[in-house]
Amino acid sequence: MEIHNTTEDLVFSTISEICASIEKSGNPDKLCLCDQCRINAACFVLNRIPPHYIISNRGAARIEQETISRQQKEADVVSLVFEALKRVNHNQRPNSDHTNGSAKVAKKGPVFNIPTIIGRAFDGTKFSPLAGVNVELLRDRKLVEMKNRNWQNPCTLTSNTQGTFTFWPESIPAKEAGSRENFEYSVKIEVPGFETMVHFFQIPVISEINDAESFSMDRTFKLPDLYLFPPGEDED
Ligand SMILES: [Zn+2]
């Protein structure tokens, strides 16, 4: 059994539907609908509506659907998604070209497809999101290579994304499909006047036959919120 936030399902599916309908209508507002803008929009919306947790198992699928449709009526997620897509567009990241074209040739499988990693970083003294700060994703003390050129490592926190950072690591070759492995990563954040944050975590991944070519918001690995403090303060 796992605890599952159905608000995430609602937000992810609403973003996919809205982006599809915008693309269909020729995108008159010229909104950027790249993977990073979608994920930033998802974070924007998720930070503004309450989570709804259920205990999930296989039998809960139907209940989940009912919960989601009830929530849809309660929260005006659709208008929030539109606001989010406009906001993240008005402040595009300077180093990203915001296209979805994959710069790399897909690896021949089998591979471990690493999920997209999402987290947030805060100034722990004010509980405000950090901005203008670089976040590094490391594995074996080296910067992890990203899936394609739309994903930056280090990732720079911008004020419009409320301290959110995202990574999509390159897939890792596997001997065969169906084997399970834990991959160790760390997120490192250095800010002048604060104690350096190094957060270690493991992602369990089951290898697959093919390299995941397209980004999916369902495949995300969420980190706990990270709080940075000045040196000498006993906080943990
Ligand atoms: Zn974009």
- CA of residue 38 to ligand 1 center, whole Å: 7
What is the distance in A from the centroid of ligand 1 to the CA of 31?
Answer: 8
Q: What is the pLDDT of residue 230?
A: 94
Kindly report, residue by residue over 118-176, the tens digit of the pLDDT.
899 999 999 899 999 999 999 999 999 998 877 889 998 877 777 888 899 999 999 99
Cβ partners under 8 Å of residue 190, min gap 6: 134, 196, 197
Residue range 19-38: average pLDDT? 88
Fold adopted by 111-228? Immunoglobulin-like (2.60.40)
In this structure, are residues 189 and 135 in contact, taking their beta carbons and an 8 Å threshold?
yes
For the chain, the distance separating the N- and C-terminal CA atoms, rounded to the nearest angstrom, is: 28
Q: How many angstroms does the Cα of residue 186 sit away from the middle of ligand 1?
A: 26
What tens digit of pLDDT does each residue of 183-233 get? 999 999 999 999 999 999 999 999 999 888 777 777 889 899 999 999 985
| Kind plus residue range of the DSSP H or E element containing 139 | strand 134-139
Domain layout of the chain by residue ranges:
2-90, 111-228
Q: What is the Å distance from ligand 1's center to 215 Cα? A: 13
**Residue range 78-131, pLDDT digits in tens:** 888 988 988 887 555 555 556 655 455 666 779 999 999 989 999 999 989 999
CA of 182 relative to ligand 1 center, distance in Å? 31
Say how far apart CA 106 and CA 6 lie, in whole Å. 32
